[in-house]
Structure 1
Amino acid sequence: MVGRHPHLDRWDWESETDVSIVRSALVAVDMGHMEQRNILTLSGGERQRVAIAALLAQQPQLMLLDEPIAHLDLKHQVAMLKLIANESRERNAAVVMVLHEPALARRFCDRALLVHGDGQVEEGDIASMLTAEKLSALFQYPLATTECGGYVGFIPQ
């Protein structure tokens, strides 16, 4: 419910509409069945999904996300990125996020900003920025590109 607080006046309580929005957000992140659980009893991945639900409940026009898929298994990483992408399109909201998974960034993002350790930055469309050559320089480790089913991945050499 904390995601609804920005929408409440100073002394207001959450309405049935707020409760409905929060429940929908919990269902969207596959946590609806745990609505009554104390957050302290949840795993790291479950807490991360609850945090994403709180974000969705805020219904923001700009989402600033720092590693939104940290602590999630692969199934939930992809599901949360799909959800964020769909929500941003449906509400015409902007998303700025930090990801350390270049293959998933390439799949779900439109643009990339690469920040090198020496402070150098590069910015551009996702296909031109997330290449084996640029990522090898960024991570200071050689990577190779692989493609399967229309998706691009990067493998350490």
Structure 2
Amino acid sequence: MSAILQATNINWRIGNARILQDISLQLNAGEIVGIIGPNGAGKSSLLNILAGITEPDSGALQLHGAYYNTLERRAFARQLAYLEQEARINWPLLTERVIELGRSPHQSAYSRLEETDNTAIAQAIAETGIAHLLGRNVATLSQGEKMLVALTRVFATQPQIILADEPVAALDPNHQLMIMELINSRSRNKSNAALIVLHDLSLAARYCDRLILLVGGRVASEGSPSAVLSDENLREFYKIECYSDFNEPAVVQPTRRIN
């Protein structure tokens, strides 16, 4: 299977601290890959590098076989969209203005929205079901509503790849499932894919085809959810014991800390 996104031997440090060490991964069309690991493992740092926000110290990044540094920025942004942690929308904008920003990679500077843009925006709003939030100032929205608006903006871009950094953090269970189901539905299209940082092990097991376990900036385990979330890995790397059932819907519930 040909990778649509590939990272090879990625290294990154801050000062003398090595944050990521020899990270290699690939993302194939039609799949969802989860990045998991304890706090401080380097998950968000890796996603920032894959999103082109941070440049690694060494290693190669490719999108459809083309190296990142050879890609025109707008062309890159049309293919890959980043959903940041906690939907940090700090501007006093109406929801529709935020969603329209998703069409920026398809426009030239100072150009107006065209029919194709309006169609993409309408489709994204229908897909996420947030028509009732139009006309609202995003500053007045709940965290779950802000995340839905941010996801709608990402969908409006019509990217092939979605990178999501803890998209369900601090959300209530209803919004957690809603966000994951929307990303799942979009990514199952044969030409699309998603790479998601998750802390909830049950959601990771339920929605991801493969998991990558980061520990101390390195890949400690990679494979199917049942393989990566083995009792041995949970004990060694998370210092917990869990009740696990990988039948649908998968459940991985921590039951005890290990000192």
TM-score interval for Structure 1 and Structure 2 normalised by the shorter chain: 0.7 to 0.9
SS in 2 for 1:37: coil
Give 1:28 deviation, angstroms. 2.7
SS in 1 for 2:189: helix
What is the alpha-carbon distance in structure 2 between the residues aligned to residue 111 and residue 67 of structure 1? 16
Could you say which structure has the higher helix fraction? 1
Identity, % of aligned pairs? 34
Contact 2:242–2:252, Cα closer than 8 Å, also in 1: no
- Residue pair 1:45, 1:72 contacting (<8 A) in 2 also: yes
Segments of structure 1 that go 5 or more residues without pairing to the other structure are none
Change (3 A) 1:118 1:37: closer
Q: 1:71 to 1:91 in 2, by over 3 A?
A: farther
Q: How do residues 1-157 of structure 1 correspond to structure 2 at under 5 angstroms?
A: 1-90=100-189, 92-117=191-216, 119=218, 121-146=220-245, 150-157=249-256
Query: Whole-Å Cα distance in 1 between the matches of residues 218 and 189 of structure 2?
Result: 35
* Structure number with higher strand proportion: 2
The 1-side partners of 2:217 and 2:106 are apart by 41
Instruction: Specify the SS of the correspondent of 1:142.
Output: strand
Q: Is the CA contact (8 Å cut-off) linking 1:133 and 1:143 kept in structure 2? A: no
Distance 1:53 1:96, change over 3 A: same
Q: Which runs of 5+ in 2 are unaligned?
A: 1-99
Distance change in 2, residues 1:118/1:19 (3 Å): closer
Find the aligned partners of 1:14 and 1:118 in 2 and give their Cα distance. Answer: 42
- Once superposed, what is the RMSD of the aligned Cα atoms? 2.1
Pick 1 or 2: higher relative contact order, CA cutoff 8 A, min separation 6. Answer: 2
Query: In the comparison of the two structures, how many residue pairs are matched?
Result: 157
Distance 1:154 1:127, change over 3 A: same
